[in-house]
Structures are given as C-alpha cells and as structure tokens.
Structure 1
Amino acid sequence: MIISLDTSSAISVAITDAEATEALARRMIFAPRGHAEQLSEVVRQAMEEAGVARSDVTGIVVGTGPAPFTGLRVGLVTGRMLAFAWDVPVWGVCSLDALGAAERDVVVVGDARRREVYWARYAAGRRIEGPAVAAPADVRIGAGERTVGRGATLYPDYFPGAAEADPDPLWLAREALRRRAAGENLGTEPLYLRRPDVHGA
C-alpha cells in the first residue's frame, strides 16, 4: 500500500494499492492554515478507513510544490518522518504534475499569494513548461487552452472559465510510480520558487 499526501494547496491524502490503480481512501480538505494541526489526523483517518496498518505500507509519496513555504514544509516533513519511522521509501513529485497528469492538455495554475501564481503547461499529461512563478498577466494562455487550479479561479480576468481544482493524491502516486519505473529521480526537495514570506536579511 502507498500513502500519498500533498499540502501545496488542500490537505490531500490517499491510500492506494501498490500500483496506484485505485484509492482505498481519499481525503481532501481545503484549509489555507492549520496544516500542521490537521495532517497527521487526516492520515490516521484515511488509514483507518482503508483498513491499512503501518506494516502494510510499502512507500510514501509527497507533493513537492510549488507552494508557499509553511504549508508545503508540513507535508514534506510529515512524509519524510513517516518513511523514516516505518522504514519505507519516500518519493517526491511536483504537485502541479498531479493535476497535469489527470487533465492531460492544460495549464495548471496555483495560488502563490502576493498577487502571483505558480503555473506549468502540460501536453498529453506531461509537463512541457514550468513550473514557474509569475504575475497572472504574465502567464501566456493560448486560444482555446484550458486552465485549472485554485490559483486560476482567483484571477478570472486572466484565466476565464478556469476550473477550480487541487492536486489529487491518487494521481500524485500514479506519477511517482510512472517516473520510478522510468528511472527518474524522485527527490523530496521543496519547490518554493522564491524565498519565504518571512526571512532574515
């Protein structure tokens, strides 16, 4: 069994079979704050719903962002700690890729705050541009090109008709297994793309 979690936007957790063909349990809670207080309990609830014990877990998948510093860090630290405590591997995947893989041909746009967005472009479910951070006006959207993501819905003048969505942890697990089979590096380094909102001189 695989535990997949992401805190780049919503608190998202899925328990999947070893091939990530289906989610035995999936929890997605949009909570702009409070990731640290809620994530462990959401993982516990998902495992209980799926009837999964620690000994059943064979791997952890974590979303690496891009996302604001604090929320993203909670998911990464939790994933690494679970992997260490349970002696299983941990694999990192760009959070936007979960939406890109599910939606296929699309521009995924996340909320970067400070009136900016994180974005990446996908063709046939594979990332072909990004991830990057920019002002909404600086993200090029072609005629007829679809946009999805919570960040896009915040700026309808620049992303008309955008669909609100958060990274699905099931698709995060699927991307991790696909890339692992292809021999890609699946490190858990965070994609902040800029310095934290609070930092020293």
Structure 2
Amino acid sequence: MLLLAFDTATPAVTAALHDGERVLAESTVVDARRHGELLVPTVDRVLGSAGRVLADVSGIVVGVGPGPYTGLRVGLVTAAAFGDALGVPVHGVCTLDGLAWAAGEAGLDGPFVVATDARRKEVYWARYDGPRRRTTEPAVDRPAEIADAVAGLPSVGAGAALYPDVFTDRRPDPDHQSAGALAALAAHRLATGEPFAPALPLYLRRPDAQVPAGYKAVLPR
C-alpha cells in the first residue's frame, strides 16, 4: 500500500506519503492564496523525499472540507485527475476529521472541538468524542452562535485560535491540517473497513463569487 494524501481546504497546502504503517514523507506550506500553484510542487517534493514516483501510488486520499470554494476545489480536482490517470481509488476524508486525528496523535482525547477559519467571521466546526469519533455533522456558524455547544471543551484548529472568548480551552497542536495525519486516518479506515466520504466538496455554503443580481444579457439585433 502506498497512499498519497493531500488537503487544500485550509490555508495549509499539505501532502504526504503513507505506506499503511507510517508516514514516509510529508510537506506543508501555509499560504491561503496559492493552492493551485503550490499543490503539485508539494506532491513532487514529497515523492522525491521518499524516493518514489507517482506511478507507485496505490490510492489517493483527499480532504473534502469543509472549506472555501476556491482552495478546496484545487485538491479535489487534482485528486480526481490523479485517480483517473493512475487507475487507483480516491478516498475522501473530512478535513475536520484529519485535524481530530492529529489532535489524538498529540495526546488529546475526547470530548473536544475542531474549528477552522471559514472567513466572514465564521468557523467550520464539529464536536468529537475522541480522535476517531465525530459526534456532530460539520457546520458553519458564527462563534457566538455555538458558544453554549463548545463551552468548556478543549479545541484545536486555526478557527479556535481566532475566537478565544468562545473557544476558551484552545490547544495549540494541531493548528493547521497535516496530510500525514489525514493519511494515517485513511490507513486506519482501510484496515478496519470503515467507510469513506465521497470525494466531493463539502462547501456548506455558496461561493463568494456570484453572478450580479442585475445582470442584463445583451442580444444581437
């Protein structure tokens, strides 16, 4: 088994190789504006570090969000292209689940909250009983609206860091997504037969860019 994992649902453009037992190589660049430029070079760097080539990969693991429209689609389109070119399966994993797994690797046990920055003064978030068990569906909300739901719970993720008045027990590790953790979670699910999410984007809201409401078509005479 050789899993290539990557995620572009957060400002972290992250990729990793996992052989089913351990992470062979991992690279992460935090840059919210250059997902399209950075992802393939990051994958190339990981493959080179591990002494492998893309043709060696037996499965693709991709973070499906929730995340902003532009960044998230970069990872999903790339995953679909790699899967089709290589003839290998593409496994979707919730981005928040990857952060929860990384929190478990850092020693955090449940219950806790994962929150990422959704912009617009909102967060993407979910509650967990432990690093393997999510107890709520991913959601997007203003922090004040979920204050009672997260009160007193440890929290991880860059979204939690932005709102310390709501996420009062914020843990610093992990702050950003780790493709190594995402791959380790996928390897666990493959070994135990747990299902994967469809490799489709989990947006939770409409994209920022929309056709103007007053758009007028111009027709030839």
TM-score (norm: length of structure 1): 0.92
Q: Which protein shows a greater Rg?
A: 2
**For the residues of structure 2 that align with 1:51 and 1:163, how far apart are their CA atoms?**
35
Percent identical among aligned pairs is: 43
Corresponding residue number in structure 2 for 1:82: 82
Shift of 1:54: 2.2
Cα deviation code 1:84-141 (max 9, x no counterpart) = 1111111000000011123242200010000000001111221001200000112222
Shift of 1:184: 1.5
Secondary structure of the corresponding residue to residue 67 of structure 1: coil
* Structure 1 position 122 matched with structure 2 position 128: yes
Shift of 1:185: 4.1
CA contact (8 A) 2:60 2:83 kept: yes
Corresponding residue number in structure 2 for 1:94: 94
CA contact (8 A) 1:107 1:121 kept: yes
Higher deviation after alignment, 41-50 or 174-183: 174-183
Corresponding residue number in structure 2 for 1:26: 26
* Structure 1 position 112 matched with structure 2 position 121: no
Corresponding residue number in structure 2 for 1:174: 184
* Structure 2 counterpart of 1:2, one-letter code: L
- Computed over aligned residues only, the root mean square deviation of the Cα atoms, in angstroms, reads 1.5
* Structure 1 position 156 matched with structure 2 position 164: yes
Shift of 1:32: 0.9
* Structure 2 counterpart of 1:141, one-letter code: V
**How many equivalent residue pairs?**
198
Cα deviation code 1:158-188 (max 9, x no counterpart) = 1134234122212212322333442524310
Cα deviation code 1:29-76 (max 9, x no counterpart) = 111101001111110011001101123110000000000000000011
Secondary structure of the corresponding residue to residue 129 of structure 1: coil
CA contact (8 A) 1:176 1:186 kept: no
Corresponding residue number in structure 2 for 1:4: 5
Give the gaps of 5 or more residues in structure 2. 104-108, 214-221
Corresponding residue number in structure 1 for 2:150: 141
Higher deviation after alignment, 56-65 or 159-168: 159-168
Secondary structure of the corresponding residue to residue 150 of structure 2: coil
Give the gaps of 5 or more residues in structure 1. none
CA contact (8 A) 1:11 1:30 kept: yes
**For the residues of structure 2 that align with 1:187 and 1:130, how far apart are their CA atoms?**
15
* Structure 1 counterpart of 2:81, one-letter code: M
Corresponding residue number in structure 1 for 2:18: 16
**For the residues of structure 2 that align with 1:28 and 1:35, how far apart are their CA atoms?**
11
Corresponding residue number in structure 2 for 1:44: 44
Corresponding residue number in structure 1 for 2:35: 35
Higher deviation after alignment, 22-31 or 177-186: 177-186
